[in-house]
Each structure stands twice: as structure tokens, then as C-alpha cells.
Structure 1
Amino acid sequence: MSARIRMVLFVNLLSLLFSTAILHSNQSTLPLRSFKISENVTYDCIDIYKQPGLEHPFLKTHKIQLKSSISRHELKMQTGKNETSDKRKIVCPNGTVPILRNTKEYVTNSQVFAEEHFHPLSADSPGTHIAGVRSSIGPFRGVQAWFSANALNVGKDQVSYGQIYIGSGSGNQVNYISAGWIINPGLYGDQRVWAFGFWKGKDGKGCYNTACSGFVQVSKVIPIVRPIDLKPGVPGWFRYFIHQDINTGNWWMTQLMQNIPDEDIGYWPKELFNLLENGANMVGVGGVVQASHSGSSPPMGNGNFPNGGRLDSGLFSNIEVLNSNYEQRKMNSFPVENLLDSEKCYGLRIGKLTFH
């Protein structure tokens, strides 16, 4: 293991594994507008009712939910600058949503990552290392947190990411949803930080973003997958909220904002799952890396062990959950399990921070 990685977790939750993928737009649907963010990164504004996510066989009779019915209070934290949501490069016309234009290679690779490098209830994927916390005293209706992302030197055959997640398992079956940031040069073709979402449902298959059907994009300004340009040594901040809608049972992905209204990015319909109808058995947060075939592991968090101040390493903070009654609680009010499988290369420090 050639790399040191460190993850500081202030509060409580879980961390798991996996790698990444990208999206494809429905080539049979003519976009009303397109946005080219950078070379090989283009978003098409597709009619919300004709988006590729609705092509999943489980969603033949699904009716789109346009807004989450969950009310939530804003998390307070002064990060100072570099909010990942400040720079909006995409504003699709009303009635359309941004879908990343993909290649067949991206779609194929996303399926390979989901099948070969994703074991959501344990760290038994060869070369995968984790640093995080989780609680398995459910049911939970949601999880939210502040967490930092940093530019890292990650090899083409390596992966490093941070995430919040929920999940349930029964026998060999697993239902799982996660959201966060990831650096995966082998898939995205660059070393940038990418925002992502992932799900694994009742058919036993998993999918990243909109690389295959299932996720329903609702926001016209924030796509589920997008590149985040960060300068070395300057963290970017994510504030995500995964939660089950109290009326429909769908599982929403929301980006929490500081000075403007929260943005519901989209949701995974309840029809995709068979173990999440009454909430999730576990929730968690943390960092994960996938080593190269040679055994070399990439950095995690910001590449520093959590031996200094609160912002000297990768950080998860203000971690909160929704209990079975949709009541918002601090994560440390539940029993928490620490996850750290490689102390020589990575670190974990648990503390309690209050931000105002």
C-alpha cells in the first residue's frame, strides 16, 4: 500500500465501498438545449417525462413526483468559501432536466464497477479500504451530512471517494443508496472530483447516476453527476440529504444549501426496491478507496492523517438521521460502529463538533 489516507469523522455514521460511473442521454429524444461544460462533458436538456431513467421495466406505471414532501431545517456550518453549489453552469428550460451525454464505453464500465467492486455491507472487495462509521439500529428514513472533497493524485486504475448512504440486507439480498463525490480516472477520463449517486435494488443490479435507467432527475440546474473543479489543497463542501418521502415512499437525493433554498436533485422510485419500504436498516458515512491491480492504494479524504485540527483532514460533520417516525436526530444519539480496516495507510478520528 503506497499511500496514506486519512479521514476525520466528526459525529457518527458509516462508510462503504464501490467505484464510479456516468450517464447517458436518450438518443431518441431531441434535447431542447445542450450545455458543454468541458471537453467530453455535455449535458442535454431532456423532457422530464421522456428522460432515460423512466425506461426501467419496474417503472412502466410510475408517476413522476416533482417535489419532495419532507420538510427539513438547514444545517449551519461556516465553511468560509468554495461551496460546490455556487457555480451553476447549467440552467435547463422549464419542463426539462440535464442528462449527461454518455458513450457506450461509460455505460459498460459503470456496470462492471457496480458488479465487481461493490459490496455494500462489508469490506470484502479485494483492494478496497474504508474509513467511516455506521449505525445498524434502524429503521431509518434518511441521512444527511456536511463533508469535504479534495483534489487528489489518483491513478488511472485507482478510485477514491466519500459518501453518505442508507441500506438494508436480508440473506443475500441488498438494497442500497449512496451519494457523494468520487475520483475515478479510469471511468471519467480525468482526475477531477465528480458528484455521484448510486443504487442497488431488488433485481440485484446496481447503477451509478443515470448510466442506466432508474434514477428520476427532477432538478433543472443540478444533475446527479457532475464534475467539480477544485484547486489542490482547497476543499469543496457537499451537503447531501438522502431521505424517504413520507407520502410516496420514493427515496430522494437533496442538496442542502446555505443561503438559498435546498435543491431536490431527483429520486430513486420505491418500485426499484424490496427491502426499503419501511425505511433502511442502516445508515453511514465515510471514505473508500480501491487499490490498483498492483496493490498500490490511492489517498483518501485530503491525503492527511487526522492528527491535526478539525479541517486538516477529510471531514464529515453535522451527521443527522431521520428515525422511523421522520424525526431528525444527531447520529451520535444511536449506537455507532467504527470502520477502519487499514490503520497503516488510513486513519479515523471521531469527535463532536458544533457549527453555528
Structure 2
Amino acid sequence: MPKMINILLLVMCLVTIITAERDHGMQRVLKEEDLELERQLNILNKPPIKSINTKSGYIVDCVDINKQPAFDHPLLKKHKLQRKPIFERNVTETKVRNSPIKPKSIFILEKVKCPEGTVPIRRTTKNDLIKKKSSFKDHNLTENGSINHFTRLYLSIEGSPYYGVSGTTSIWNPKIYKSQSSSNNLYVQRGEGDNLNKISVGWHVSPQLYNDYQTHLYLFWTSGKKGCFNMLCKGFVQVDRSFIFGSRISKISTYGGTIIDLPLQISRDNVGNWWLKVADRDIGYFPKALFSSLDNGAQEVGYGGYTTTPAGTTSPAMGSGYMPDKDYTHASYFKFVKYLNIIRTPYDPLAFMVQSSNDAPDCYGLANYKDEMKRFGYSFLFGGPGGKCNT
């Protein structure tokens, strides 16, 4: 019996030692991760010339335009700031406006005004960096256990290369739950898998990123396995003093009533940089050095909606949450859909280029009216309530 007791005591001691070592190891890993997050925060949050507290509760730092985080990217060490895109303005100017359906109001984007020579950057928190990993995986379609659905119209490789894309989308606030997201966007891309180069811009609802259920202006980019939302990593060069990616859009469309919309554009300039234009303002650009293949133009450009939800849950609403019924005050839309050719001339899509994709027809719809609705140019409706999607 004493021998058995000694053996049990020895086993208990070993378990205690192993547990202590494991806990110590975990603490060491957590400490290393915490130090890495602090290092990233020091890079992203530059010393501000001025700081602004927004009504939504986050802080915007006005940072020297020449010292913004983008220039810490190893591929941009020798990059020279470009304040304006270098090409002729062939694209029809589209001002901030609402749809001609009920022309009374314009969308209101939460924005600030930074001093001359500075740009506004939303201050990044440690929690933002923790959330960005899962959000990036959701949008980048990696193996992360989430279910993702697209409903989109796109221009195929047969018409490529494309040097830009533009369109105006209606703004909504679809109902979603925690860990879900829903967006309207347009995009340019080349490659696939680990070689995917992609830029998207639009609006979305993403409680993972913002800790709220409001509609926000956003950008997303990826080059291979690297990239992020908004300014949560080094890369995008901001030039506008007022607009902030990640800011809240406080005025949205009303079903059957006033429709609020947002003109968007992505275009490659003559030196190969990709510019983002929102509501007639050049917000900034992605230097060509960030991408491995977009310098030769995009193979595909597209427009539409995108949702994510954890596995085992029902999918969220997309757009207005209603299926297309030919009424532009009901379902979400993209109108004045165009692509840009090599000399940056905007064209309506040609029939041989246009393809559509809707991987969850039980949950979402897409109706392409082309140029049938004359006052909307080339346009289509899309979206739906979500639910149990049998795909």
C-alpha cells in the first residue's frame, strides 16, 4: 500500500509540473503575441498633428501625409507620394447624390477635416488587430469555418484587361447578427488562390470590425495572403483630408421611399497605381509595387453583394433584404455600371463580357436589366433576406 501511495504521489507531482510548464508556456506565447500587437500598433498609429473624437466613439488621428503607415511597407520605402492620379479625366464625373427616384437627400458620411498637409486615419486599437485576422479570412475565402455567399455581375477574362470599374450602389443597413457580415461592393482582380490580387470598395455591416451594427464605408485589398480592411495594415496611401475608410454612413435608403446611393470607382492611372474614388473624391491609391500582377490591368471586374456567417447558422440579409422585383426602391442596385479601357474611357459592358453568379438562389436574387432602365444606364438589382441557403 505505501508503495502505491508513493507512486500516486509521484504521478501527481509529474502532472503538476507538466501543467505548470504548459501554463508557463502559454503565458510566454501570449506575452509574445501581446508584444507583437504593441509593435504593430506603434507602426500603424503615427504621432498625430491633431486628434479628433468622433460621435461614433472612435478616434481619428490627423497624420503628416508623408509619414502615414503606408510608407513603412518594405515595398514602399522609396515610393514618392502622388497627390493626384496621372491620367486624363475621361470618366464622367459623378457627384454625391441620391437616386432620381426621390431626389431630396444625399448620403451623410461621418467625416472630419484635418489640417493641410495631413490625412485622417482611424486610430487602431489592439482589439482591431485581433479582429482583423478573422475578418480577413472571411473575406478572402480561406478555410476558417465560415460560410460565404456571392451574388454578383462580373465582366470576364474574355474582355480583359480592364483598367478600371465604376458604378453607383444603393446604401442599406441589412439585418445581421454577431459574427456575420453583409456588403455591397465593386472590385478589380487578377489571379486566384495564393496568387490573387484584388481591390474592393463599398459599404458593409460588420460587427466584428466595428463592434456595432451600422453601415460603414470600407475598402479591402489582398495580394496573395497579405492584405486587410481599411487601414488595418500598411499599403493604402491616403490623400484626402476628410474621408475615412471605416467611417459610419448615417443616412441610408428607405424601402419604397427615398433611396440613398453612393458612386464608386477603382481605376489604374498611367504609372500603374490603383486609385479609389468615392462620391467624386479621390481618396487615395494603392501603389503598383504592392501587387504582383495588377500592373497589367485586371482580368476581372465585378459588382454585387457578399455575406459571411459562421458554419451552422442561417445566412444574413444582403442589400435591402428584399429580392429583386424590378422596383429600384425595393431591392439593392448597381446603376451606371461601366468599365474603363486602356485609355481610361468608360464603356457600358458588352454582352460577350457579362456573366453573373448567384451561389444561393434560395436566399438571394439577381436581375440584370442591362440598359432597359434608361435613366439608370446599365443596371441590375440584387440581394435578398438570407436564411437557410441550400447550396
Q: If the length of structure 2 is used for normalisation, what is the TM-score? A: 0.77
Deviation at 1:75, TM superposition (A): 4.0
Deviation at 1:316, TM superposition (A): 0.5
Q: What does residue 15 of structure 2 align with?
A: none
* 1:129 lines up with 2:149 in the alignment: yes
Give distance in 1, aligned partners of 2:313 and 2:147. Answer: 7
Give distance in 2, aligned partners of 1:109 and 1:127. Answer: 18
Deviation at 1:96, TM superposition (A): 0.2
Q: What does residue 7 of structure 2 align with?
A: none
Give distance in 2, aligned partners of 1:227 and 1:24. Answer: 22
Within-5 A mapping of 1:222-233: 222-230=243-251, 233=254
Q: What does residue 106 of structure 2 align with?
A: 83
Match of 1:307 among 311, 318, 325: 325
Deviation at 1:24, TM superposition (A): 6.8
* 1:206 lines up with 2:230 in the alignment: no
Match of 1:336 among 347, 354, 358: 354
Deviation at 1:126, TM superposition (A): 4.5
Q: What does residue 30 of structure 1 align with?
A: 47
SS of equivalent to 2:196: strand
SS of equivalent to 1:54: helix
2:140 partner letter: F
Larger displacement relative to structure 2 (152-161 or 307-316): 307-316
Larger displacement relative to structure 2 (262-271 or 168-177): 168-177
Deviation at 1:293, TM superposition (A): 3.5
Cα displacement string for residues 129-150 of structure 1 (whole angstroms, at most 9, x for unaligned residues): 1111111221000000000121
1:210 partner letter: M
Q: Report how many aligned residue pairs link the two structures.
A: 324
Within-5 A mapping of 1:144-163: 144-163=166-185
SS of equivalent to 1:280: coil
| Contact 1:152–1:232 (CA under 8 A) maintained in structure 2 | no
* 1:48 lines up with 2:65 in the alignment: yes
CA RMSD of aligned residues (A): 2.5
2:348 partner letter: K
| Contact 2:194–2:225 (CA under 8 A) maintained in structure 1 | no
Give distance in 2, aligned partners of 1:164 and 1:192. Answer: 20
Deviation at 1:169, TM superposition (A): 0.6
Give distance in 2, aligned partners of 1:28 and 1:104. Answer: 11
Give distance in 2, aligned partners of 1:172 and 1:89. Answer: 35
Larger RCO, structure (CA 8 Å, separation 6 or more) = 1
Cα 1:27–1:303, aligned 2, differ >3 Å: closer, same or farther?
Answer: closer
In structure 2, stretches of 5+ residues that fail to align are 1-39, 377-391
Deviation at 1:42, TM superposition (A): 1.7
Q: What does residue 355 of structure 1 align with?
A: 375
Q: What does residue 73 of structure 1 align with?
A: 92
Q: What does residue 64 of structure 1 align with?
A: 81
Q: What does residue 334 of structure 2 align with?
A: 316
Q: What does residue 6 of structure 2 align with?
A: none
Within-5 A mapping of 1:178-217: 178-201=200-223, 203-217=224-238
Deviation at 1:224, TM superposition (A): 2.4
Q: If the length of structure 1 is used for normalisation, what is the TM-score? A: 0.84
Give distance in 1, aligned partners of 2:361 and 2:351. Answer: 26
Cα displacement string for residues 184-237 of structure 1 (whole angstroms, at most 9, x for unaligned residues): 112210010010111111x53121111010000110011222111135736431
Give distance in 2, aligned partners of 1:334 and 1:316. Answer: 19
In structure 1, stretches of 5+ residues that fail to align are 1-22, 257-261
Cα displacement string for residues 311-338 of structure 1 (whole angstroms, at most 9, x for unaligned residues): 2110111011102332211124552111
The structure with the greater share of residues assigned to strand is: 1
SS of equivalent to 1:34: strand
Cα 1:326–1:193, aligned 2, differ >3 Å: closer, same or farther?
Answer: same
SS of equivalent to 1:355: helix
Within-5 A mapping of 1:89-108: 89-108=111-130
Deviation at 1:113, TM superposition (A): 1.9
* 1:249 lines up with 2:272 in the alignment: yes
Q: What does residue 261 of structure 2 align with?
A: 237
Q: What does residue 174 of structure 1 align with?
A: 196
| Contact 2:111–2:244 (CA under 8 A) maintained in structure 1 | no
1:312 partner letter: H
| Contact 2:138–2:144 (CA under 8 A) maintained in structure 1 | no
After superposing on structure 2, the runs of 4+ consecutive aligned residues of structure 1 that deviate more than 3 Å are 23-29, 86-89, 123-126
Cα displacement string for residues 90-137 of structure 1 (whole angstroms, at most 9, x for unaligned residues): 1111000000012112123213221344139xx998511111111122
2:179 partner letter: D
Deviation at 1:27, TM superposition (A): 6.6
Give distance in 2, aligned partners of 1:307 and 1:25. Answer: 50
Deviation at 1:272, TM superposition (A): 0.2
SS of equivalent to 1:277: helix
Cα 1:28–1:167, aligned 2, differ >3 Å: closer, same or farther?
Answer: closer
1:100 partner letter: R
Is the radius of gyration larger for structure 1 or structure 2?
2
Cα 1:24–1:221, aligned 2, differ >3 Å: closer, same or farther?
Answer: farther
SS of equivalent to 2:132: helix
Cα 1:27–1:336, aligned 2, differ >3 Å: closer, same or farther?
Answer: closer
SS of equivalent to 2:302: strand
Q: What does residue 220 of structure 1 align with?
A: 241
